[in-house]
């Protein structure tokens, strides 16, 4: 399976090899690896160092896992059922005084998940983020205070055999990964005109 990014410029091997599988091996993840992932998320930058991220971690078979799984849309349940770990990512929407809105909380939560994702790759663990879940149900099941919002569910595990997947998911599991060209989103003077530095 060649899922490695075909890059125009050389990038870090962890960034190149990361992708979002749906087939996970039915094997628990070592606690130390999860600790490292969560430690990495902790060191993400955030606006005013507010660190608005909050994570609920579910290990297959425990109540947290079952609650997170219950919030997933049917499509995601079809494949995420194989993942040994599910993490619910949430964010606090107010700043330290609990009253002033933090306008950038969601950006910061996403960034901490990105850190987690790359640290996972270092230990040959794969992460698949999902927003196909019911955030209100998650808030209810985890009794979230009104200033805390669920953002995504993160499946974690070792790479599994694509043959275990529902047939409609096998094709994308094996397909080459695609991206837009940098000339479509890196500009200098004028929107829509590519910056010279991304010309290849
Ligand atoms: C915020 C976010 C939400 C996503 N939601 C879902 C989802 O609900 N179900 C799913 O199967 N994949 C989901 N994905 C995975 C994306 O489809 C995937 O990252 C994208 O196709 C690029 O593939 P790659 O991560 O393998 O490079 C999500 C990814 C992100 C970052």
The model's pLDDT over 173-184, given as tens digits with 9 standing for 90+, comes to: 999 999 999 999
User: Which helix (DSSP H) or strand (DSSP E) does residue 114 occupy?
Assistant: helix 105-122
Q: So what's the pLDDT on residue 78?
A: 95
Q: Determine which residue's CA is closest to atom 20 belonging to ligand 1.
A: 20
Instruction: Give φ, ψ of 46 to 5 degrees.
Output: -150, 155
The model's pLDDT over 21-76, given as tens digits with 9 standing for 90+, comes to: 999 999 999 999 999 999 999 999 999 999 999 999 999 999 999 999 999 999 99
Which CATH class name applies to 21-161? Answer: alpha beta
**Extents of the domains making up the chain:** 21-161
Residue keyed to tokens 């399976």: 1
Question: How distant, in Å, are the alpha carbons of 163, 167, 181, 188 from that of 198?
Answer: 39, 38, 9, 10
Q: Is 129 a pocket residue for ligand 1 (Cβ < 6 Å)?
A: yes
* Residue 128 Cα to ligand 1 middle (Å): 7
Q: So what's the pLDDT on residue 191?
A: 98
Check whether 123 has a pLDDT greater than 80: yes
Q: Is 19 a pocket residue for ligand 1 (Cβ < 6 Å)?
A: yes
Adjacent-strand bridge partners of 157: 126
Range with lowest mean pLDDT among 1-10, 27-36, 78-87? 1-10
pLDDT band at residue 1, thresholds of 50, 70 and 90?
low
pLDDT band at residue 168, thresholds of 50, 70 and 90?
confident
* Residue 130 Cα to ligand 1 middle (Å): 6
Burial of 96 (0-12, 13-18, 19+ CB in 10 A): exposed
Adjacent-strand bridge partners of 86: 58, 155
pLDDT (average), residues 139-154: 98
Q: In a mutational test of the pocket of ligand 1, which residue from 7, 14, 20, 86 has the highest number of ligand atoms less than 8 Å from its CB?
A: 20
């Amino acid at each position: 399976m060649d899922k490695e990014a075909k890059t125009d410029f050389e990038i870090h091997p962890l960034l190149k090899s990361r992708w979002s599988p749906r087939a996970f091996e039915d094997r628990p993840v070592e606690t130390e690896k999860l600790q490292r992932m969560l430690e990495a998320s902790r060191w993400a930058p955030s606006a005013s160092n507010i660190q608005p991220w909050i994570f609920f971690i579910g290990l297959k078979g425990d109540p947290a896992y079952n609650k997170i799984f219950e919030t997933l849309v049917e499509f995601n349940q079809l494949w995420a059922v194989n993942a040994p770990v599910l993490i619910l990512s949430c964010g606090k929407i107010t700043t330290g005084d609990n009253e002033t809105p933090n306008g950038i909380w969601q950006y910061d939560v996403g960034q901490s998940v990105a850190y987690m994702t790359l640290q996972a790759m270092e230990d040959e663990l794969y992460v698949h983020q999902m927003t196909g879940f019911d955030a209100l149900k998650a808030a209810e099941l985890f009794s979230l205070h009104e200033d805390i919002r669920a953002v995504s569910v993160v499946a974690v595990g070792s790479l599994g055999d694509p043959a275990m997947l529902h047939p409609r998911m096998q094709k994308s599991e094996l397909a080459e990964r695609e991206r837009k060209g940098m000339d479509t989103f890196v500009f200098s003077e004028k929107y829509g005109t590519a910056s010279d530095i991304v010309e290849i």
